[in-house]
Amino acid sequence: MEERPIDRLLHQARTLGMNQTKLAERLGVSPQDITNWKKRGMPAEWHATAAQAVLESVEWLLGLQVRPSIPQIGALSLGSEVKTPRRHRSVPIVSWIRAVLWNEDPPTREEIFKWVNDFVVPKQSLPGERAFALVMDLEYMINPIPGQLSLPPGTIIVVDPDHPSDAGDYVLARELETHSPIVGRLVRKGAALEVQVARPDLPAVEIKDPTQQIIGRVLEYQLNQQL
């Protein structure tokens, strides 16, 4: 029997560790929809979204392109010739408003701008199921000092609410009163915690209640360099 797009989708989803329920959440459909697709075939209008959900191309999903499975793909760091086997997971890009109000509920399909499908991380920092991405537009994350970390507008960062963070890590936090977003390095001064943004002329932001203010740890950014 010829392999159909839905068959390839389900096989690749299993390779990525997603069951039918998780795949349905990733696609923004119900598990019953996927069951129906298994019986009748996947509608053509879902091919692009389905391919993105499992880190593949539409051509691959339609059987027009043969690609190695995820564990066989080597990641090539920007400007590097070293190929290292890596693990992949796509994460949704959401708005800053959605991010600072992050909770246990996954973002709806309407709240997701797109998926970061080429996100590659070392095994130890693989983002969890609730991880999300943001497009930087915070001017205070531009550091004018050469050699220092700078996250200019347009940089994509990936945040994991379930990844533990400690002093020295980069985090996404929020102001306690205004819920304004803060991205920076977590610094401990005695018993106090602060988030230091990239611009050296700006003061650190005090973290009065870590459980309420720290949303998640920033694992990576778009240049494929681990923070």
Model pLDDT, residue 82: 33
- The answer on 131 and 32 residing in a single domain is no
Whether 166 is in a domain gets the answer yes
Model pLDDT, residue 225: 41
- The answer on 161 and 68 residing in a single domain is no
Whether 195 is in a domain gets the answer yes
> What are the strands, taking DSSP E only, across the chain?
74-76, 83-85, 87-88, 91-93, 114-116, 120-121, 132-135, 156-160, 170-174, 181-189, 192-196, 205-207, 214-221
Distance (Å, whole) CA 145 – CA 163? 29
Amino acid, single-letter form, for residue 100? V
Per the DSSP assignment, residues forming a β-bridge with 158 are 133, 220
Whether 78 is in a domain gets the answer no
Whether 48 is in a domain gets the answer yes
- The answer on 119 and 67 residing in a single domain is no
pLDDT tens per residue across span 104-116: 666 777 777 777 6
Model pLDDT, residue 85: 38
Model pLDDT, residue 99: 85
- The answer on 37 and 101 residing in a single domain is no
- The answer on 130 and 53 residing in a single domain is no
Number of alpha helices (DSSP H) and beta strands (DSSP E) in the chain: 7, 13
Domain span including residue 39: 5-72
* Run of H or E including 26: helix 20-27
Give me the number of domains the chain comprises.
2
**Report field, pTM of the whole predicted structure over 0.85:** no
Side-chain-side CA neighbours of 146 within 13 Å: the count stands at 0
Model pLDDT, residue 42: 92
- The answer on 186 and 100 residing in a single domain is yes
Q: CB–CB of 159/215 below 8 Å? A: yes
The domain spanning residue 33 has which CATH number? 1.10.260.40
The domain spanning residue 209 has which CATH number? 2.10.109.10
Q: CB–CB of 138/183 below 8 Å? A: yes
Q: Which residue stretches of the chain have pLDDT < 50?
A: 67-86, 118, 122-124, 223-227
- Please report, for residues 95, 164, 210, the alpha-carbon distance to residue 216 in angstroms, rounded to integers and kept in the order given: 15, 8, 10
Q: Both tokens of residue 141?
A: 């994350």
- The answer on 208 and 105 residing in a single domain is yes
